[in-house]
């Protein structure tokens, strides 16, 4: 693994997932990407992750609820929430479970990388 730590990405939209993976690898991050919660829960390297880029709406499942459950287990890397459906209720819920950043799709690659670097700087 490089000196820049592992970034986990969970999004059910395969085109978004591939784009994020390409972007992060081009910026020399190590990346594990997942398109289902089951795959994420079975294989994600949570202990090594610098952060998790997490879609809020995952085929009927809630990224916010996933973050809440990870926090309860005590193994929860910092989360950068991403969403295409923004409203006050969702934003407040994301903030209430704790997030390092909240990005509205489509977001700029610069904003995502800046959020990840801020997480790494804070650790």
Give me the pLDDT at residue 122, please: 87
pTM score of the predicted model: 0.95
The average pLDDT across 39-54 equals: 96
**N-terminal to C-terminal alpha carbon distance within the chain:** 18
The answer to whether residue 12 scores a pLDDT higher than 80 is yes
Give me the pLDDT at residue 84, please: 94
Burial 85-109 (b: 16+ CB within 10 A, else e): eeeeebbebbeebebbbbbeeeeee
The average pLDDT across 19-25 equals: 98
| Residue pLDDT, tens place only, 47-88 | 999 999 999 999 989 999 999 999 999 999 999 999 999 999
């Amino acid at each position: 693994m490089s000196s820049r730590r592992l970034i986990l990405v969970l999004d059910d939209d395969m085109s978004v997932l591939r784009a994020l993976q390409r972007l992060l690898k081009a910026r020399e991050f190590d990346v594990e990407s997942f398109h289902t919660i089951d795959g994420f829960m079975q294989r994600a390297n949570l202990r090594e992750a610098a952060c998790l880029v997490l879609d809020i709406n995952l085929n009927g499942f809630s990224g916010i609820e996933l973050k809440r459950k990870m926090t309860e287990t005590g193994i929860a890397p910092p989360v950068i929430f991403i969403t295409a459906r923004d409203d006050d209720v969702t934003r407040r819920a994301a903030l209430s479970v704790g997030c390092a950043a909240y990005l509205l799709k489509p977001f700029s690659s610069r904003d995502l990388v800046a959020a990840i670097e801020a997480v790494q700087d804070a650790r």
